Each structure stands twice: as C-alpha cells, then as structure tokens.
Amino acid sequence: MVRGFLILVAGSILIGIGINLFFVPHQFLDGGMIGIGLIFHYWFGFKSGLTIILLSIPLYLIAYFKDRSLFYNSIHGLWLSSFMIDFFDEWHDLYNISPLLSAFTGGAFVGVGIGLMLRADSATGGTDLLAQLIGKSLGFNVGKLIFAIDSMVVLIGWSIIGSESFLYSLFAISTVGFFTTLLTHDKDRGGDIPFAK
C-alpha cells in the first residue's frame, strides 16, 4: 500500500509539473479530462484540477457500479493529480523554453506520470478511467485508447488555442501516448509489474 501510494504521488507530481511548466505557458492541450480542464482554464479562467474533479464524477459513478475495485483505486489518483495540477498552477512563468521543447518535455512528464499511475491500477480522471474500463473489457491497449481520446479533445480545443498551439499539442499528446504506452505495455500483456498494487 505504501509503495502504491508513493507511485500515485510521484505520478501526480510529474503530471502537475508537466502541465503547468510546459503546457500552460504556450497554451497547449493535453487530451482527455486534463485537456478539457485546460480548455476551461484557457477559456474561462477556471481551475483545471477542480474542473477535472467535477467533470469526472459521472464516469466515476459508472466505475462504481461496473468495477468497484477500479473505482476505489482510481479515486485517489483523481484527487491527487487534480490537486497537483492546481498546486503547481503558479509555476507556469518559471521557465521560458521553446514550444517544441516544451511540447516534448511536458509530454514526457505527463506520459510518465500517467503511466506510473496506470501501472498502479489508478487513473488521473474520467477519460483515463474510461480507457481502463474499455481496455479491461475488450483487451485493448490502454495507452492507445488514451491517445485516441486525447486526439478528439485537442480537435475540439483547436478553435480556442489556435493552429500553432494545436500542432504543438498534437506532438505533445503523441509524446504522452508514447510514454504511457511504454510504461503500460507489460501490464497489458500480463507481465510482471514490480510496483503495481
């Protein structure tokens, strides 16, 4: 339990840093519920983490009835990752690096963070949870499912962030998808995962 909790904290910190230090300064989007939270942040000024929690409630209700163990494992990931996203909110002016490097570095941070949480049978929010439910039911790779959902969210946010940020966001979520898939590959094949719960 201690090891699992530490993995959740580490993954949440990586996500919070990746989003605020590398995505927000250039108005990049992630996909899924994090991306939706960022859309609300850019458009309305809402707190991304709080938005993620509120919008994730319906999917967590579904998980409660469909997969009770996944619900209990994932609820901690939702709270921790959302808290860290809002906790690091003031860090968006800390660095000023090129958009391309920000997209890659932020994508790596977020992808590793999500991957760690998924390997601990947790999730960061609604669409990650949805991907896990579909993956378990149909045997699909969770990282690839997250990538598909992420792409749809970024397409929706295109008109808000503009074409340049949209293109960088595509690269960023590709990086997220790569690192998430890398960390969950053995898990999907039923391999030994030394730090899963």
In a domain, 195, yes or no: no
Q: DSSP 3-state assignment of 162?
A: coil
Report how far residue 176's alpha carbon sits from residue 170's, in angstroms, rounded to the nearest whole number: 10
Is residue 115 within 8 A of residue 132, CB to CB? The reply is: no
Helix axes 2-17, 68-87, angle to 10 degrees: 40
**Residue 113 pLDDT:** 93
Question: Residues 106, 148, 33, 170: is their CA dihedral positive or negative?
Answer: positive
In a domain, 177, yes or no: yes
Report how far residue 12's alpha carbon sits from residue 133's, in angstroms, rounded to the nearest whole number: 21
pTM for the whole thing?
0.82
**Residue 10 pLDDT:** 94
In a domain, 192, yes or no: no
Domains identified in the chain, total number: 1
In a domain, 193, yes or no: no
Domain extent, residue 54, equals 2-187
Question: Residues 151, 112, 71, 56: is their CA dihedral positive or negative?
Answer: negative
**Residue 124 pLDDT:** 67
In a domain, 196, yes or no: no
Give, in order, the Cα–Cα distances in Å from 18 to each of 30, 97, 181, 188. Answer: 10, 13, 17, 25
**Residue 195 pLDDT:** 32
Spans of the chain below 50 pLDDT = 189-197
In a domain, 16, yes or no: yes
In a domain, 135, yes or no: yes
Pure H helices in the chain:
2-17, 32-44, 48-66, 68-87, 99-119, 126-138, 142-161, 163-188
In a domain, 93, yes or no: yes
**Residue 107 pLDDT:** 96
